[in-house]
Amino acid sequence: MAFVSIYLNFAGNAEEAFNHYKQVFRSEFSTPMMRMKDIPPQPGMPELPEAEKNKVMHVALPILGGTQIMATDMLESMGHKLIEGNNVTISLNPDTREEADRLYNELSAGGKGGVAPHDEFWGYWGSCKDRFGIRWMFNITN
């Protein structure tokens, strides 16, 4: 079933934040917390510094009314830089690849910085910033 979640980026403290949110919302993670060291080697991907291997690659927590928040730690070693404005993304999780492609095509029109949906090790994923400056992510997990 399709759903929407809010995706948050952190500067290395996603685990601390989500443990806090877990207490606040009296909820449990919907999937086990994935670490950066869990990413399968990718062509051209640099070796992670030891201090970053346990940073959060992905975490998800149900909050209120069926809404789920998700997060990752942004790593400067991977070329990421956290600034206000890139720390929140609306994550659309449609039922089909066709719907993910349609949403991407329509939301990315006139925008910039898009990555068309494609296969990743966890599923079918893409992202874009629309012409109004809103960040969107498209994800269908395997």
Any idea what the CATH number is for the domain that residue 81 is in? 3.10.180.10
43: in domain = no
Neighbours of 50 (CB within 10 A): 8
61: in domain = yes
pLDDT at residue 115 greater than cutoff 90: yes
Instruction: Say what the pTM is.
Output: 0.72
pLDDT for 59: 97
112: in domain = yes
More confident position, 133 or 35: 35
More confident position, 59 or 92: 59
For range 100-120, the mean pLDDT: 93
CA angle 75, 33, 36 (to 5 degrees): 30
Decide: 45 and 10 in contact? Cβ < 8 Å: no
Q: Give the residue numbers spanning the domain of 21.
A: 3-36+51-141
Q: What percent of the chain has pLDDT over 70?
A: 97
Quick one: which of 7, 58, 55, 65 has its CA closest to 29?
Answer: 58
pLDDT for 47: 83
Count the domains in the chain. 1
41: in domain = no
Q: Give the model confidence (pLDDT) of 2-13 as tens digits.
A: 888 999 888 888
Q: Give the model confidence (pLDDT) of 15-64 as tens digits.
A: 999 998 999 889 999 989 999 999 888 888 778 889 989 999 999 999 87
For range 66-76, the mean pLDDT: 89
Decide: 52 and 14 in contact? Cβ < 8 Å: no
For range 121-138, the mean pLDDT: 89
Q: Rounded to whole angstroms, how far apart are CA atoms 28 and 61? A: 6
140 burial class (0-12, 13-18, 19+ CB within 10 angstroms)? buried
128: in domain = yes
For range 88-111, the mean pLDDT: 92
pLDDT at residue 123 greater than cutoff 80: yes
